[in-house]
Chain A
Amino acid sequence: MHPAPSVIIFTVLSGLGFGLLTFLGFGLPAVTGWAAFFYFAIGFGLAVGGLVASTFHLGNPQRALKAFTQWQTSWLSREACLSTAALIVLGIYAFAAVFFGVTIAVLGWLGGLLSLATVIATAMIYAQLKTVPRWNHWLTPLHLLTLSLAGGAILAQQTAAALVLLLVAGAVQVLQWVLGDRRFAERGHTIETATGLGDRGKARLFEPPHTGSNYLLKEMVHVVGRKHAQKLRIIAFGAMIVVPLVLVALLPTNPFTAAIATLFYLVGAFASRWLFFAEAEHVVSLYYGRTATEAPYQPSHSR
């Protein structure tokens, strides 16, 4: 799949933001006044910044309000509704905490749960797609949820929670890579099932339908950069899991530690999310000649 920068920025930043907001909603740490102001400013900044970035890849963003209507069937619509609800509920909670020094626990819990649900809804947009076997698995929501909460725990300076969540997120990330690499083959989608020519014999692409590129190839048959995949996985795992784990475990708990650990986490998370898209194979690539050993058709670039 095409690793669009807007979607990578959106999922990483809003994931981290809603992770932090989850902790803040549950009163970890229980803050009021200026402290609450800074915590919530970071949480809202990340969550809203991410959501705004997500509109950059839309063809017609001026109609984005319509995306609130189809929550009964669409995970994308559910994400829109849940994220807005989380921001409103926690906005009221934060307003009371910042300006009146009052914590309305019920609102906090509700906002925390809505933030969790938002991250799950984002993940389900990908996990629901049978057409992308690597994503179509319960590991996808677990992966995005544990990463989001681990980042949130670092920012919220919850040392014990951060250590546990980073370990879990690391384990899930490794599983997601190892099992994800096999899933396309396990699902049994081949050029023969795609074309229905399997009972005749072995099929191969003789001629692509067009000499240039098209939307499908650009969007779903993305093949660049896979040769660096292993290196990027090591960078992602090191920066996102190992370094923050060491920093949080060894340095004293303070905002400086949290900031440094979060920066490393973000670098790793961006690499991990880039791979999440770039390594995901869409079944439509079968029509363009993808096999277990051969890459699908790609047009040669401008002459």
Chain B
Amino acid sequence: MTQLPETTDKKLGLVIDLDTCVGCHACVTACKGWNTENYGVPLSDEDAYGADPVGTFLNRIHSYEVEPKGGGCSQTVHFPKSCLHCDDAPCVTVCPTGASYKRSEDGIVLVNEDACIGCGLCAWACPYGARELDAAAGVMKKCTLCVDRIYNDNLPEEDRVPACVRTCPAGARHFGDFADPNSNVSKLVAERGGIDLMPEQGTKPVNKYLPPRPKDQMQDMDVLSPLLEPVCEEPKGFLAWLDKKLEAL
């Protein structure tokens, strides 16, 4: 059904921390792996070992260089981009067959591949390039927020998060419920000033991005500095006796 739900009980989504993403593409690989082996048709590749390999991916990492307005060091920002599971998802309403839908229970935007005719209009309607038509299967593929992991009781609890979040070695990806103001993701967004991408498109994205901190200005104390201070200036007790004896030798 391509009518958007008025509200959703939960708003599941991701927080992407642009300050800590190191651009390793591990999330891309984990996503491709999980979503090729599980929900829906595989994410196919064409000419995979040839001169012009192309393939379907649900997550892509761009890298940008930002030149500060007032001068100073320019900054490299690694920028993971996947479906933002928008509240006002334009990809859903344009679908002629009802294959695209947004779930009222948790807000995840999904494609029913059995109903998709592969017209590609939803990919045109998305400002973020979050949907890719699979060349082998002829159906539209997009981030499912690993819907087959997050509710999967057969997996250990720590694995019940999207594959990209589970794999990120930098802790730059966070999964949670934005409808709950006390959730990990809501708190992160509040503390760090999480932002929407291309807000002028009016899509009301659920996923939020945490802006990178300027790295050439030290604002906070280094988190490691308390650990670097000497723990004990003068030895006491047995160590003091040993110290004295060794000194005397």
A interface residues, Cβ below 8 angstroms from B: 1, 57-61, 63-64, 66-67, 69-70, 72-77, 80, 125, 128-132, 187-189, 191, 193-197, 199-210, 212-216, 219-220, 282-284, 287-288, 301-303
Question: Is the pair B120, A57 in contact by a Cβ cutoff of 8 Å?
Answer: yes
Report whether B132 and A215 are in contact in the complex, using a CB–CB cutoff of 8 Å: yes
Nearest 10 CB-CB pairs, A to B? A59-B118, A59-B138, A209-B60, A66-B97, A77-B96, A284-B129, A76-B96, A67-B96, A207-B63, A201-B68
Tell me if B226 counts as interface (CB < 8 A to partner A). no
Interface range on chain B: under 10, 10 to 19, 20 to 34, or 35 or more? Answer: 35 or more
Assess the B97–A219 pair: CB atoms within 8 A: no
- Chain A residues lying within 8 Å of B92, measured Cβ to Cβ, are 73
Using CB atoms, name the residue of chain B closest to A126.
Answer: B124
28 contacts between A and B (CB under 8 A): A1-B124, A58-B117, A58-B118, A60-B138, A60-B139, A63-B97, A63-B116, A66-B117, A73-B95, A74-B95, A76-B95, A129-B125, A131-B90, A194-B197, A195-B64, A196-B209, A197-B77, A200-B66, A200-B68, A201-B69, A206-B65, A208-B62, A209-B60, A209-B62, A209-B63, A216-B123, A220-B123, A284-B129
The answer for the CA separation of A188 and B95 in the assembled complex, in Å, is 27
Docked CA distance A301–B47 (Å): 13
Chain A residues whose CB sits within 8 angstroms of the CB of B137 once the complex forms: 59
- Could you tell me the distance in whole angstroms from the C-beta of B205 to the nearest C-beta in chain A? 10
| A302-B51 CB under 8 A given contacts A67-B97, A201-B67, A282-B124 | yes
Q: How far is the CA of A75 from the CA of B214 in the complex (A)?
A: 45
A188 CB to nearest B CB, Å? 6
**Closest partner residue, chain A, to B135 (CB atom):** A215
User: Cβ of B3 and Cβ of A213 under 8 Å apart?
Assistant: no
Decide if B201 touches A283 in the complex (CB within 8 Å): yes
Which of B51, B129, B132 is in CB contact (< 8 Å) with A303?
B51
Residues of A within 8 A of B200 (CB): 187-189, 193
Asked whether A216 and B129 contact (CB < 8 A) given A131-B124, A196-B209, A303-B51, the answer is yes
Distance in angstroms between the alpha carbons of A219 and B118 in the assembled complex: 13
Most buried by A among B55, B117, B125, B132: B117
B65 (CB) vs chain A CBs: closest residue: A206
Overall SS of chain B's interface? loop
Given contacts A131-B90, A201-B69, A282-B124, contact A196 B62 (CB under 8 A): no
* Interface residues in B22-67 (C-beta closer than 8 Å to A): 28, 51-57, 60-67
Inter-subunit contact B127/A130 (CB<8 Å) = yes
How many Å lie between the Cα of A287 and that of B223 in the bound state? 34
Output the least CB separation between B136 and chain A (Å). Answer: 10
Interface contacts (Cβ under 8 Å), in number, total 201
Instruction: Decide yes or no: A74 and B127 within 8 Å by CB, A201-B69, A214-B54 being known contacts.
Output: no
Interface pair A130/B57, CB less than 8 Å apart? no
Interface residues of B, Cβ cutoff 8 Å to A: 1-3, 28, 51-57, 60-69, 74-77, 79, 81, 90, 92-99, 115-121, 123-129, 132-135, 137-140, 195-202, 209, 211-212, 214
**Minimal Cβ-Cβ distance residue in B for A285:** B129
Known A200-B212, A215-B132: A193·B199 in contact at CB below 8 Å: yes
**Residue numbers in A under 8 Å from B68 (CB-CB):** 200-201
B118 A60 Cβ-Cβ under 8 A: yes
B196 contact set on A, CB distance < 8 A: 196
Q: Is B97's CB under 8 angstroms from A284's CB?
A: no
Q: A209-B61, A212-B52 are in contact. Are A59 and B117 (CB under 8 A)?
A: yes
User: What is the minimal beta-carbon distance from A71 to any residue of chain B, in angstroms?
Assistant: 9
- Would you give the shortest CB distance from B63 to chain A, in whole angstroms? 4
Give the complex CA separation of A7 and B128 in angstroms: 23
B52 close to A213 (CB less than 8 A): yes
A303 to B28 CA separation, bound complex (whole angstroms): 25
A131-B124, A200-B68 known; A70 vs B63 contact (CB < 8 Å): no
